């Protein structure tokens, strides 16, 4: 017979809220291990002769609550080696915001019986004192879990165990990342006890309150909270009969130009290293994604949830070196694994010739398409061993272009070959050809703009000057750049 640990809840307040079953179990036990003596009914139980052993001393030694809970579980497991039955009591309900019990269940799975005894939880007191219907949506989180919180804004958020002002301050800072500073929250202490208090306070003043182990924070729904679901709802309203005429008229084809424009505006913000503008442009780009998902939903093809589910599964599936047991020494090996997984997803481990360049977007800029094509060929072994190969090829293609110019035939084809060879060399030099050319264009524009300014300062007109004179101004701008007297932002 497996040893058994009886886990009971002490409820949120005094002994009158214990279940009769729990009371009898506590009275019968040789001794009761308690997570903490800091609970309204503990002294009453001690007065009735219950032998209590608490783990309060562990809180002084542990650096984090997780360490404390791990020590508690270790101590209980050691006790189970000596006794067939152990009684462990926790505040509230054993399975509501009680990490030590969850950890105990995980540790003893298959080794011992963990019997949970129902109890009144602190949530029952919240429901009785606050006009909160969990049907509207309810999140219960420990203070340490808030940094990864992503609420949709429709749900109530309940945070128990605001032990002191330090914890209250940490909770406040984590929530102010999501909610408005002045958003009104409910701070409750001692719910269900004679000394209970309920206050409505601005979030920014949370750490001004007297907090203890019986403190609970209740955060009401916040419709203004930024979330992906709220953006989707807004697009849905705009597309509705009562929405915006322009938004209703759009379809996939009409939005193609918008998608490209927003993508290039994101690139421009990155190139300008303008974080503020980048934030705005990423929002505009996200809008296009949600807009297309809304159109697909109206056509009953798929919706935003399907888009999210698909990309989440794909990222996990194609990163087995992170989410599974696969190994990848470097980024090159990651890419090889990625391609192999893609082929397996399509039901084949061989590279079919007709599928070698499948997936290429014909609307990609030509330089990007050339680079993408060369990388695809390289992954099946068709590539130069080093940069000497593409460099020699450039000279060869330039010679063929010269011949084409002399013969006045095949000029465009040979010129394209030169560009393609230059892209190949850029790849070996680990340069982004699209970005490199863009930077060269920006540099040219800046120099010509500075030339025009200097020519105007000299009282001359740019279009009236000879090429030789313009060349001197060009050389002057380059000299000023080298001396550091001209810096382009």
Shared domain check, 94 and 20: yes
pLDDT tens readout for residues 377-408: 787 778 888 999 989 999 999 999 999 999 99
CB 204 within 8 A of CB 182: yes
Task: Output the pLDDT for position 326.
Answer: 83
Q: Mapping DSSP to helix (H, G, I), strand (E, B) and coil, where does residue 185 land?
A: strand
Shared domain check, 424 and 462: no
The H-assigned helical ranges of 152-251 are: 165-176, 228-239, 245-249
CA dist., res. 263 & res. 444, Å (int): 23
CB 53 within 8 A of CB 33: yes
CB 212 within 8 A of CB 193: no
Lowest-pLDDT choice from 37-41, 150-154, 300-304, 330-334: 330-334
| Residue in 274, 177, 288 with CA at minimum distance from that of residue 222 | 177
DSSP code string of 1-58: ---EEEEEE-BSSSGGGS-HHHHHHHHHSS-EEES-S-STTHHHHHHTT--EEE-HHH
Total residues found in the chain within this entry: 489
The more confident residue out of 7 and 191 is: 7
Burial of 136 (0-12, 13-18, 19+ CB in 10 A): exposed
Tokens of 399: 């010679």
CB 374 within 8 A of CB 424: yes
Shared domain check, 441 and 421: no
Paired sense of beta strands 215-219 and 156-159, if any: antiparallel
DSSP code string of 390-412: HHHHHHHHHHHHHHHHHHTSSHH
Number of domains in the chain: 5
Its pTM stands at 0.64
Tokens of 335: 């890419």
State which residues form the domain around 93. Answer: 4-120
The Cα-based distances of 439 to 151, 197, 432, 443 in angstroms read 41, 63, 10, 6
Residue that terminates a domain, selected from 384, 413, 428: 428
The CATH number given to whatever domain includes residue 13 is 3.40.1010.10
Residue that terminates a domain, selected from 317, 343, 372: 317
444 belongs to a structural domain: yes
The pLDDT of 364-375, averaged and rounded, is 83
Task: Output the pLDDT for position 334.
Answer: 82
CA dist., res. 72 & res. 100, Å (int): 7
Tokens of 323: 């989410």
CA dist., res. 212 & res. 95, Å (int): 21
Q: Is the pLDDT of residue 272 over 80?
A: yes
Shared domain check, 138 and 153: yes
The Cα-based distances of 82 to 3, 75, 85, 86, 432 in angstroms read 10, 11, 9, 10, 67
Shared domain check, 161 and 83: no
Shared domain check, 167 and 63: no
| Angle in degrees, CA 431, 432, 438, rounded to 5 | 120
329 belongs to a structural domain: no
Task: Output the pLDDT for position 170.
Answer: 94
Question: pLDDT-derived band of residue 193, with 50, 70 and 90 as boundaries?
Answer: confident
Shared domain check, 105 and 9: yes
Q: Is the pLDDT of residue 442 over 90?
A: no
Task: Output the pLDDT for position 382.
Answer: 80
324 belongs to a structural domain: no
487 belongs to a structural domain: no
Task: Output the pLDDT for position 463.
Answer: 87
Tokens of 420: 């393609």
The Cα-based distances of 100 to 282, 453, 481 in angstroms read 42, 72, 65
Task: Output the pLDDT for position 488.
Answer: 58
Beta-bridge partner residues of 218 = 158, 186
E strand segments, 283-383 = none
Question: pLDDT-derived band of residue 171, with 50, 70 and 90 as boundaries?
Answer: very high
The pLDDT of 183-201, averaged and rounded, is 91
Q: Is the pLDDT of residue 194 over 90?
A: no
Question: pLDDT-derived band of residue 352, with 50, 70 and 90 as boundaries?
Answer: low
CB 151 within 8 A of CB 225: yes
Dmax of the chain from CA atoms?
Answer: 110
The pLDDT of 154-163, averaged and rounded, is 91
CA dist., res. 321 & res. 328, Å (int): 6
Tokens of 14: 């005094």
288 belongs to a structural domain: yes
Tokens of 116: 């949970």
How much is the mean pLDDT over the chain? 89
The CATH number given to whatever domain includes residue 252 is 1.10.287.1080
Task: Output the pLDDT for position 486.
Answer: 67
CB 79 within 8 A of CB 33: yes
Question: pLDDT-derived band of residue 324, with 50, 70 and 90 as boundaries?
Answer: confident
DSSP code string of 306-324: HHHHHHHHHHHHT-HHHHS
CB 298 within 8 A of CB 239: yes
Task: Output the pLDDT for position 136.
Answer: 84
The CATH number given to whatever domain includes residue 139 is 3.30.950.10
CA dist., res. 17 & res. 193, Å (int): 10
The secondary element (H helix, E strand) that includes residue 138 is: strand 138-140
Q: Is the pLDDT of residue 358 over 80?
A: no
327 belongs to a structural domain: no
pLDDT tens readout for residues 222-261: 988 888 989 999 999 999 999 999 999 999 999 988 998 9
Q: Is the pLDDT of residue 347 over 60?
A: yes
Q: Is the pLDDT of residue 348 over 90?
A: no
Question: pLDDT-derived band of residue 174, with 50, 70 and 90 as boundaries?
Answer: very high
The Cα-based distances of 16 to 53, 192, 214, 263, 486 in angstroms read 21, 10, 17, 64, 80
Residue that terminates a domain, selected from 219, 244, 266: 219
The pLDDT of 284-306, averaged and rounded, is 96
Q: Is the pLDDT of residue 360 over 70?
A: no
Q: Is the pLDDT of residue 354 over 60?
A: no
The fraction of the chain above a pLDDT of 90, given in percent, is 54
Shared domain check, 81 and 47: yes
Q: Mapping DSSP to helix (H, G, I), strand (E, B) and coil, where does residue 219 land?
A: strand
DSSP 157: E
Q: Is the pLDDT of residue 349 over 60?
A: no
Task: Output the pLDDT for position 487.
Answer: 59
pLDDT tens readout for residues 77-95: 999 999 999 999 999 999 9
Shared domain check, 13 and 53: yes
Shared domain check, 57 and 151: no
Shared domain check, 421 and 407: yes
Shared domain check, 212 and 232: no
Lowest-pLDDT choice from 104-108, 170-174, 433-437: 433-437
Lowest-pLDDT choice from 179-183, 326-330, 454-458: 326-330
161 belongs to a structural domain: yes
253 belongs to a structural domain: yes
DSSP code string of 444-460: HHHHHHHHHHHHHHTT-
Task: Output the pLDDT for position 330.
Answer: 83
């Amino acid at each position: 017979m497996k040893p058994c640990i009886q886990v009971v809840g002490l409820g949120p307040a005094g002994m009158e809220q214990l279940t009769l079953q729990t009371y009898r179990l506590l009275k019968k036990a040789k001794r009761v291990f308690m997570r903490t003596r800091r609970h309204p009914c503990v002294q009453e139980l001690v007065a009735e002769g219950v032998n209590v052993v608490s783990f309060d001393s562990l809180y002084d030694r542990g650096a984090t609550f997780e360490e404390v809970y791990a020590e508690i579980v270790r101590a209980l497991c050691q006790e189970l080696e000596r006794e067939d039955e152990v009684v462990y009591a926790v505040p509230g309900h054993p399975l509501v915001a009680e990490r030590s019990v969850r950890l105990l269940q995980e540790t003893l799975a298959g080794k011992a019986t963990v019997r949970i005894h129902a109890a009144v939880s602190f949530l029952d007191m919240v429901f009785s004192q606050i006009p909160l219907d969990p049907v509207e949506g309810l999140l219960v989180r420990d203070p340490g879990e808030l940094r990864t919180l992503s609420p949709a804004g429709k749900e109530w958020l309940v945070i128990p165990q605001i032990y002191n002002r330090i914890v209250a301050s940490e909770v406040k800072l984590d929530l102010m990342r999501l909610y408005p500073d002045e958003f009104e929250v409910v701070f409750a202490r001692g719910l269900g006890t004679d000394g209970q208090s309920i206050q409505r306070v601005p979030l920014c003043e949370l750490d001004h309150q007297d907090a203890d182990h019986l403190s609970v924070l209740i955060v009401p729904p916040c419709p203004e909270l930024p979330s992906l679901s709220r953006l989707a709802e807004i697009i849905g309203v705009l597309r509705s009969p009562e929405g915006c005429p322009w938004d209703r008229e759009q379809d996939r084809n009409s939005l193609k130009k918008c998608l490209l424009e927003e993508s290039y505006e994101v690139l421009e913000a990155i190139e300008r290293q303008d974080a503020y503008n980048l934030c705005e442009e990423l929002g505009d780009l996200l809008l296009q994604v949600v807009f297309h998902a809304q159109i697909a939903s109206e056509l009953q093809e798929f919706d935003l949830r399907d888009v999210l589910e698909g990309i989440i599964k794909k990222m996990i599936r194609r990163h087995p070196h992170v989410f599974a047991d696969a190994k990848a020494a470097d980024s090159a090996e990651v890419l090889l694994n990625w391609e192999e997984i893609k082929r397996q997803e399509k039901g084949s481990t061989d590279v079919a010739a007709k599928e070698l360049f499948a997936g290429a977007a014909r609307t990609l800029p030509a330089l990007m398409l050339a680079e993408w094509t060369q990388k695809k060929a390289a992954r099946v072994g068709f590539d130069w061993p080093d940069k000497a190969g593409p460099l020699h090829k450039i000279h060869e293609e330039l010679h063929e272009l010269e011949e084409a110019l002399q013969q006045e035939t095949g000029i465009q084809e040979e010129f394209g070959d030169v560009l393609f060879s230059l892209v190949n060399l850029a790849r070996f030099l680990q340069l982004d050809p699209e970005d490199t050319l863009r930077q060269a264009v920006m540099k040219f524009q800046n120099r010509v703009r500075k030339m025009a300014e200097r020519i105007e300062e000299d009282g001359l007109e740019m279009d009236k000057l000879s090429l030789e004179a313009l060349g001197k101004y060009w050389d002057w701008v380059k000299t000023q750049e080298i001396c550091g007297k001209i810096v382009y932002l």
